[in-house]
């Protein structure tokens, strides 16, 4: 019976934005399937279809018409865009669904901040309080001339331009407030006008627009303080998980570029508004915004064509900084506010890499340093003798949980830490928010593979030790190592999970994996299989190749490296020891490794707060030498060698 | 019977944009009423309602629902905007209607060009042909970097900016044309990209946006030649004939400002497109546009609020030059094309006055010069000792034909020249396009009043000589001088009119007026009455006051004036002798007067074609001293004196 079922074609459901894939044996109610997978979706009426909380977006085009309950609870606009109620859906075919944040009972783990570094606060927008001379028949100057004169006489500032929308607002604000106003100036342009003296407050937004996550910082432009921050998923995920699939989507149809642009802009606008109102600030008080991101995100955000970015030789349209009125992009900030986007470096090295360099000050370091931002594409900078050389490696989305059988993003219930006992070969696991495990996220899979290697359950080629009794076989005879049992029904509540954990979970799971199932395990048990290990080998191999070629190109041996800076949200969760143990880097004193969090966000904030840092970033962009890995003669040799894991004696 | 009818309330129909008012004795079919008034409206089916050519816009809100014929021939959009077929309408109440240009059988007389003056052609936009290096894996620079490098190496030009829309177009144009392109640069910004070598052609548009008329010039930016030009009516007339009524309309309702802005922009866009396609140019080849106009037109064009312009002390929002992307205004030119608007001088002295000064070079003249642009507001500049002082006089719309009983704009059938025989007191008239007379336009009324004065039919206070047998009385006993008989039915075809004219029209009309009707004339006979004369006294008095105060302010006597330049379309049609004879100026040697046509249009074209002239205009704007007439102590005295006509011995 079991064998019969497992050879039947299963129903594959991809659940975005958390990146979890589930396999169903038979047609299943949508809400049940999602809950069974351990994903916290809201449901108040327990599936009756009356509360309307379990809204999902059915991404596939062959979705079915809504039923009566759905017609009642959803707007016609929602229905036409594919929104449905999970409890009214039957998952009876392969589907891709998207659970909006409003339907999720818990938020994903999205690190948005990084380590702050010191710099002088000197924003590019500044406010000036003006008391104007009232117009009369004896003094007939225009409003703008009055403002110009007051700026000149009061502050010795000459302006050349005024934003047209600000010009439209000015006469009424002047006259309704007894000729007492505050203007905001960027360079020599007036970009905002307010009533009375508003010089005590000044706000900006810094954004790190990632392929998967978007980090948004609300910044006080006077104190430099980050007032609040917010991490959201990039909604473009619904059009493709990685950069290439999004570029391809944009090329498929004339309208797709607009579509993929607008979905991100809409979501960013919404998040800015929420972040502002949470802090009692109006988004019309936001005077400037900086935005960094990889080159594809940069182009898509601006609605620039991407064909030349998707095809060899993969060149960007521009590698100059861009300043554009926020309103021209469709984001409502202060009437004349600009969005500043620092220059992309190359097709696959974006302004987020530049921001990382700025935000870590790695360019200022004496000696030899590596700066690494791990992601679907991992950009690596080598700083040596005042020169910066950068590469982009196609590390793939394995560390985002994609291409890994039980992989998922860093959402509640994801296994994020793994330790395998050298004697009992039981796995000690830690899940995000201490929830019942529902999958493995990037740091968990990295830990898992490193631990399999350390305990000899896999060898340096990544092959499972077939002799080990601590591995089990699935129905197809493939070896797996089980990390946690996935509940097949929804009975294991979080409470059960916590109890079980307290009752010495390690043994339970180890025993279960090795004994109770007689070396055969269920598909849905959370495990690592041979294919998962290969994915990790490919990912770490790509990064190691990048490092090796950077070193070879510069003629530096690895032991001359004085420090390795790992940036990025993912990079701050991983265990540096395991990074070394899987051979992402050559063996290194762990003290040389520092994890700095979202350095790109830090860089975006610096560009917002400091004229000097912004100028410096543009200088850095010009100075960076981009190295195209694939045309490097020894690329293939390096890549093959880099796939291997370290020798047992090199494991720390 | 006659008396009975004439005391009945008549139906008043205002016909725009030609500015003709007709009085109907009884409800009349719309097409008949318009044709009876001598206005050439298209009608193919002769009133059956089947050709749909006689479209009119019923401006009043209490318009009636369309009938079946109208439902068939008009779109629902047209119907909801008030479009109807004249032949299906009954004019049975006071109405304001607008006859679109497409329904008129003949165009109005709109002078758009002026006397050209010499200057160096050096436009602010320039094209550069570039052959780019093809991108490859060994040469991964961005598209924009390639363009920058080619500009630098080929032409030693550094650019800082590229228009975002141009950036969007660039990659495809580059790749579809073997990396061979032409870019257009304004200052240090790329504002257009074209395939191949397009440096041989370069086009711009110069516009003089008047309250009544809009002059549009299509200019070759390489040769400097005006390729073609077009005069259109300002469609804002439907919201108010003069500046003040339009400002008031804009203030009545939140949406009105947008409405009055958009109607002008829509019409200008349409006219640009027509002018371009007539000359086999695409409007996307227009690389820059300059626009001059009075301050109200300037503000309304930009959608700037006008409250402070409509209320004392009547100040403009800005007196700085404005450069704005054409697309942001809603006009489609080259993707990144700008519209340049030179600075307004004051609330009632606009950039058209500045353009007039530039376009006449009056500022460069040695000696004392007056520059006059006659319109609803007449701006006058006194240039003396290198100083420019300007005033605005509220001369009113009498010279546009408004406030004059039989007044109309300069459309076919308008009496434009009048000569009264000193012996027979018959009027010799000339009509525009030699059509049957249907009214009097500005130059005609000016001639008429001057001739009445010269022949002693009115005295220097403007009063009719009650003893003259060459005047007639209307039903109310008011004296009138008849210039031409208006046909009471549509029998007098143009052919009849021409025949009658050849058969010595002078005598006919004189006889008719003085004899046949026994000193009583019909309302519809084209005549000048006492009220018309007062209107002309007010208009010329306002201008004369401006001149007197300018002279008094500068301490110069009129006989020290070396020249008077009369600019403007109207100014070029008038007889300088009659201008002097009605006392608009003190008596002067006519050789000192020059009529230069649309000098504002010439100035707009110079600003388009020459970087130096544009700079010069901005300098002039700063140097002009604006004099507010109403606060000048002797204003009232001057105004009262200026209302009088000259003594008989001063008539030339």
| Nearest CA among A255, A244, A238, A286 for reference residue A95 | A238
pLDDT, tens only, B307-324:
999 999 999 999 999 999
User: Would you call A164 and B307 a contact, using CB atoms and an 8 Å cutoff?
Assistant: no
| Lowest mean per-residue pLDDT among A279-288, B91-100, B378-387, B418-427 | B418-427
Q: How many CA atoms lie within 13 A of A217 on its CB side?
A: 30
| Lowest mean per-residue pLDDT among A70-74, B65-69, B422-426 | B422-426
Asked if omega into A313 is within 30° of 0 (cis), the reply is: yes
How many degrees, rounded to 5, is the angle at CA B408 between CA B402 and CA B413? 170
Question: What is the C-alpha R_g of chain A?
Answer: 27
Task: Count, in order, helices (H) and strands (E) of chain B.
Answer: 21, 29
Asked if omega into B312 is within 30° of 0 (cis), the reply is: no
The alpha carbon of residue A188 is apart from the nearest alpha carbon of chain B, in Å, by 14
Q: CB-CB: which of A175, A308, A316 is closest to B308?
A: A175
**Distance between CA A145 and CA B319 in Å, rounded?**
7
DSSP 8-state class, residue A572: H
Residue B277 tokens read as 């396609």
To probe the interface with B, which of A138, A141, A310, A317 has the most B CB atoms within 10 Å?
A: A317
The pLDDT > 70 percentage for chain A reads: 91
The alpha carbon of residue B628 is apart from the nearest alpha carbon of chain A, in Å, by 7
Q: Do residues B294 and B392 touch, judged by C-beta distance below 8 A?
A: no
Which residue is listed with tokens 């809409």? A266
Q: Do residues A383 and A368 touch, judged by C-beta distance below 8 A?
A: yes
Query: Which residue(s) pair with A340 in the sheet?
Result: A290, A323
User: Would you call B167 and A304 a contact, using CB atoms and an 8 Å cutoff?
Assistant: yes
Is residue B489's pLDDT more than 70? no
A339: three-class secondary structure by DSSP: strand
The alpha carbon of residue B536 is apart from the nearest alpha carbon of chain A, in Å, by 28
How many degrees, rounded to 5, is the angle at CA B592 between CA B587 and CA B593? 85
The alpha carbon of residue B400 is apart from the nearest alpha carbon of chain A, in Å, by 29
**Distance between CA B41 and CA B48 in Å, rounded?**
15
**Distance between CA B557 and CA A123 in Å, rounded?**
58
pLDDT, tens only, A114-126:
677 889 999 999 9
CA B14 vs. chain centroid, Å, equals: 19
**Chain B environment of A162 (Cβ under 8 Å):** 318, 320
To probe the interface with B, which of A134, A164, A257 has the most B CB atoms within 10 Å?
A: A164
**Chain B environment of A167 (Cβ under 8 Å):** 302, 304, 317-318
Banded model confidence at residue B497, pLDDT cuts 50, 70, 90: low
B294: three-class secondary structure by DSSP: coil
Strands B368-373, B563-567: pairing kind? parallel
Q: How much is the average pLDDT of B255-274?
A: 96
Q: First-to-last CA distance in chain B?
A: 46
Is residue B158's pLDDT more than 50? yes
pTM for the complete prediction? Answer: 0.84
Residue A5 tokens read as 């079922």
Q: Do residues B130 and B183 touch, judged by C-beta distance below 8 A?
A: yes
The alpha carbon of residue A347 is apart from the nearest alpha carbon of chain B, in Å, by 8
Banded model confidence at residue A517, pLDDT cuts 50, 70, 90: very low
**Distance between CA A243 and CA A239 in Å, rounded?**
10
Instruction: Tell me what pLDDT residue A437 has.
Output: 83
pLDDT, tens only, A74-115:
888 788 888 899 999 999 999 988 888 778 776 655 566 667
**Distance between CA A306 and CA B172 in Å, rounded?**
10
Task: Count, in order, helices (H) and strands (E) of chain A.
Answer: 21, 29
How many degrees, rounded to 5, is the angle at CA B456 between CA B453 and CA B457? 85
User: Would you call B328 and A168 a contact, using CB atoms and an 8 Å cutoff?
Assistant: no
φ/ψ region of B205 (left if φ > 0, alpha if ψ in -120 to 50, else beta) reads beta
**Chain B environment of A145 (Cβ under 8 Å):** 318-320
**Distance between CA B391 and CA B377 in Å, rounded?**
10
Residue A402 tokens read as 């994609």
**Distance between CA B450 and CA B437 in Å, rounded?**
20
Q: Do residues B349 and B392 touch, judged by C-beta distance below 8 A?
A: yes
Q: Whole-number mean pLDDT of chain B?
A: 88
User: Would you call A320 and B346 a contact, using CB atoms and an 8 Å cutoff?
Assistant: no
Banded model confidence at residue B487, pLDDT cuts 50, 70, 90: very low
Residue A615 to residues A185, B142, B143, Cα–Cα distance (Å): 18, 20, 22
Q: How much is the average pLDDT of A415-434?
A: 84
Is residue B513's pLDDT more than 60? no
> What residue of A is the nearest CA neighbor of B160?
A320
User: Would you call B143 and A308 a contact, using CB atoms and an 8 Å cutoff?
Assistant: yes
Banded model confidence at residue B491, pLDDT cuts 50, 70, 90: very low
Q: Could you tell me where the beta strands, DSSP code E, fall in B563-609?
A: 563-567, 593-597
A315 and chain B in contact, CB less than 8 A: yes
A557 and chain B in contact, CB less than 8 A: no
User: Would you call B164 and A324 a contact, using CB atoms and an 8 Å cutoff?
Assistant: yes
| Nearest CA among A82, A620, A81 for reference residue A390 | A620
The alpha carbon of residue B648 is apart from the nearest alpha carbon of chain A, in Å, by 39
Is residue A29's pLDDT more than 80? yes
User: Would you call A315 and B141 a contact, using CB atoms and an 8 Å cutoff?
Assistant: yes
**Distance between CA A92 and CA A70 in Å, rounded?**
18
Neighbour count for residue A251 (Cβ, 10 Å): 16
Instruction: Tell me what pLDDT residue B7 has.
Output: 52
Query: Which residue(s) pair with B323 in the sheet?
Result: B340
Q: Do residues B85 and B46 touch, judged by C-beta distance below 8 A?
A: no
Q: CB-CB: which of A140, A171, A313 is closest to B347?
A: A140
| Lowest mean per-residue pLDDT among A142-156, A389-403, B478-492 | B478-492
Q: Do residues B647 and B582 touch, judged by C-beta distance below 8 A?
A: no
> What residue of A is the nearest CA neighbor of B168?
A304
Neighbour count for residue B600 (Cβ, 10 Å): 35
Q: How much is the average pLDDT of A6-27?
A: 80
B550: three-class secondary structure by DSSP: helix
Instruction: Tell me what pLDDT residue A521 has.
Output: 60
**Distance between CA B590 and CA B597 in Å, rounded?**
17
The pLDDT > 90 percentage for chain A reads: 61
**Distance between CA B608 and CA A616 in Å, rounded?**
38
Q: CB-CB: which of A144, A171, A313 is closest to B305?
A: A171
Query: Higher-confidence residue: A427 or B153?
Result: B153
pLDDT, tens only, B424-447:
887 888 888 878 788 899 999 999
Residue A508 to residues A420, A425, A497, B406, Cα–Cα distance (Å): 13, 12, 12, 106
The alpha carbon of residue A323 is apart from the nearest alpha carbon of chain B, in Å, by 9
Residue A50 tokens read as 């009356």
Banded model confidence at residue A47, pLDDT cuts 50, 70, 90: confident
Measured torsion, CA atoms of residues B549, B553, B556, B557, in degrees rounded to the nearest 10:
30
Residue B239 tokens read as 């919201």
The pLDDT > 70 percentage for chain B reads: 91
Q: What share of chain B is helix, strand, coil (3-state, %, to 5)?
A: 40, 25, 40
The alpha carbon of residue B359 is apart from the nearest alpha carbon of chain A, in Å, by 24
Instruction: Tell me what pLDDT residue B6 has.
Output: 45
User: Would you call B162 and A320 a contact, using CB atoms and an 8 Å cutoff?
Assistant: yes
Instruction: Tell me what pLDDT residue A604 has.
Output: 97
Query: Higher-confidence residue: B515 or A581?
Result: A581
Instruction: Tell me what pLDDT residue A594 has.
Output: 92
How many degrees, rounded to 5, is the angle at CA A619 between CA A618 and CA A620? 90
Q: Do residues A192 and A204 touch, judged by C-beta distance below 8 A?
A: no
A74 and chain B in contact, CB less than 8 A: no
Q: CB-CB: which of A136, A137, A168 is closest to B305?
A: A168
User: Would you call B304 and A347 a contact, using CB atoms and an 8 Å cutoff?
Assistant: no
**Distance between CA B642 and CA B538 in Å, rounded?**
8
**Chain A environment of B320 (Cβ under 8 Å):** 142, 144-145, 148, 162
Could you tell me where the DSSP H helices lie in A231-317?
243-252, 256-278, 295-302, 307-310
Which residue is listed with tokens 């119907």? B79
Helix (H) or strand (E) holding B546: helix B530-554
pLDDT, tens only, A162-182:
999 999 999 999 999 999 999
Q: First-to-last CA distance in chain A?
A: 45
**Inter-chain Cβ pairs, chain A and chain B, closer than 8 A:** 125
The alpha carbon of residue B138 is apart from the nearest alpha carbon of chain A, in Å, by 8
The alpha carbon of residue A350 is apart from the nearest alpha carbon of chain B, in Å, by 12
DSSP codes of every residue in B349-386: B-HHHHHHHHHHTGGG-SSEEEEEE-SSSEEEEEEETT
B315 and chain A in contact, CB less than 8 A: yes
Instruction: Tell me what pLDDT residue B100 has.
Output: 80
B144 and chain A in contact, CB less than 8 A: yes
Which residue is listed with tokens 């977006």? A57
Residue B350 CB contacts under 8 Å (≥ 6 apart), including other chains? B292, B293, B294, B295, B296, B297, B298, B344, B379
Instruction: Tell me what pLDDT residue A470 has.
Output: 83
Banded model confidence at residue B396, pLDDT cuts 50, 70, 90: confident
| Nearest CA among B119, B118, B603 for reference residue B359 | B603
User: Would you call A143 and B315 a contact, using CB atoms and an 8 Å cutoff?
Assistant: yes
DSSP 8-state class, residue B129: E
Strands A189-195, A161-162: pairing kind? parallel
Q: Do residues B376 and B395 touch, judged by C-beta distance below 8 A?
A: yes
B188 and chain A in contact, CB less than 8 A: no
Banded model confidence at residue B484, pLDDT cuts 50, 70, 90: low
Is residue A212's pLDDT more than 50? yes
Q: Do residues A407 and A439 touch, judged by C-beta distance below 8 A?
A: yes
Q: CB-CB: which of B164, B302, B318 is closest to A143?
A: B318
Residue A283 tokens read as 């988004």
Show which of residues 603-642 on chain B sit within 8 Å of chain A, judged by CB atoms: 626, 628, 630-631
Instruction: Tell me what pLDDT residue B486 has.
Output: 45
**Chain B environment of A335 (Cβ under 8 Å):** none
**Distance between CA B586 and CA A549 in Å, rounded?**
91
Query: Higher-confidence residue: A194 or B630?
Result: A194
Asked if omega into B313 is within 30° of 0 (cis), the reply is: yes
Q: Whole-number mean pLDDT of chain A?
A: 88
Residue A587 tokens read as 């063996």
Is residue A228's pLDDT more than 50? yes
């Amino acid at each position: 019976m079991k064998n019969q079922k497992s050879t039947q074609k299963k129903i594959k459901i991809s659940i975005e934005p958390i990146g979890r894939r589930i396999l169903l044996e038979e047609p299943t109610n949508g809400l049940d399937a999602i809950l069974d997978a351990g994903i916290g979706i809201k449901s108040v009426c327990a599936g009756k279809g009356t509360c309307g909380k379990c809204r999902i977006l059915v991404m596939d085009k062959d979705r079915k018409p809504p039923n009566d309950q759905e017609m009642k609870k959803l707007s016609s606009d929602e229905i036409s865009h594919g929104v449905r109620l999970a409890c009214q859906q039957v998952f009876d075919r392969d589907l891709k669904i998207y659970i909006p944040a409003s339907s999720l009972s818990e938020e994903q783990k999205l690190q948005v901040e990084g380590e702050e570094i010191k710099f002088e606060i000197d924003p590019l927008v500044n406010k000036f309080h003006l008391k104007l001379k009232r117009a009369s028949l004896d003094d007939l100057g225009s409003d703008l001339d009055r403002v110009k004169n007051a700026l000149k006489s009061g502050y010795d500032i000459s302006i050349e331009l005024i934003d047209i929308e600000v010009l439209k607002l000015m006469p009424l604000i002047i006259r309704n407030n007894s000729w007492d106003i505050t203007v905001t100036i960027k360079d020599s342009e007036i970009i905002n006008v307010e009533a009375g003296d508003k010089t005590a407050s000044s706000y900006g937004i810094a954004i790190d627009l990632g392929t998967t996550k978007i980090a948004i910082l609300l910044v006080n432009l006077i104190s430099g303080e980050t007032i609040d921050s917010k991490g959201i998923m990039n909604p473009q995920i619904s059009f493709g998980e990685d950069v290439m699939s999004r570029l391809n989507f944009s090329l498929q149809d004339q309208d797709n570029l607009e579509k993929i642009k607008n979905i991100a802009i809409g979501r960013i606008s919404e998040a800015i508004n929420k972040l502002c109102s949470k802090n009692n600030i109006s988004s019309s008080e936001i005077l400037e915004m900086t935005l960094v991101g990889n080159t594809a995100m940069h182009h898509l955000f601006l609605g620039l064509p991407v064909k030349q970015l998707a095809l060899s030789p993969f060149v960007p349209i521009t590698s100059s900084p861009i300043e554009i009125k926020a309103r021209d992009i469709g984001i409502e900030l202060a009437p004349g506010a600009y969005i500043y986007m620092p220059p992309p470096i190359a097709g696959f090295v974006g302004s987020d890499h530049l921001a990382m360099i700025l935000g870590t000050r790695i360019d200022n370091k004496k000696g030899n340093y590596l700066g690494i931002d791990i992601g679907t594409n991992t950009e690596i900078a080598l700083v040596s003798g005042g020169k910066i050389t950068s590469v982009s490696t196609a590390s793939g989305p394995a560390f985002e949980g994609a291409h890994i059988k039980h992989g998922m993003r860093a959402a509640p219930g994801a296994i994020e830490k793994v330790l395998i006992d050298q004697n009992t070969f039981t796995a000690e696991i830690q899940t995000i928010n201490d929830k019942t495990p529902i999958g493995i996220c990037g740091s968990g899979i990295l830990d898992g593979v490193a631990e399999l290697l350390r305990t000899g359950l896999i060898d340096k080629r990544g092959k499972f030790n077939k002799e080990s009794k601590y591995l089990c076989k699935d129905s197809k005879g493939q070896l797996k190592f089980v990390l946690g049992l996935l509940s097949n029904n929804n009975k294991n509540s979080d409470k059960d999970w916590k109890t079980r954990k307290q009752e010495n979970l390690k043994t339970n799971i180890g025993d279960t994996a090795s004994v109770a199932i007689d070396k055969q395990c269920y598909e849905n048990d959370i495990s690592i299989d041979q294919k998962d290990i290969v994915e990790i080998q490919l990912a770490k191999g790509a990064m190691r190749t990048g490092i090796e070629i950077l070193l070879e190109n510069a003629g530096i041996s690895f032991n001359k490296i004085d420090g390795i800076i790992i940036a990025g949200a993912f990079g701050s969760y991983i265990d540096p020891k395991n990074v070394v143990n899987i051979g992402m880097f050559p063996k290194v004193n762990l003290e040389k490794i520092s994890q700095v969090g979202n350095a790109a966000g830090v860089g975006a904030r610096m560009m917002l707060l400091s004229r000097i840092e912004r100028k410096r970033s543009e200088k850095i962009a010009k100075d960076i030498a981009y190295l195209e890995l694939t045309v490097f003669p020894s690329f293939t040799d390096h890549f093959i060698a880099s796939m291997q894991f370290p020798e047992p004696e090199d494991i720390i």
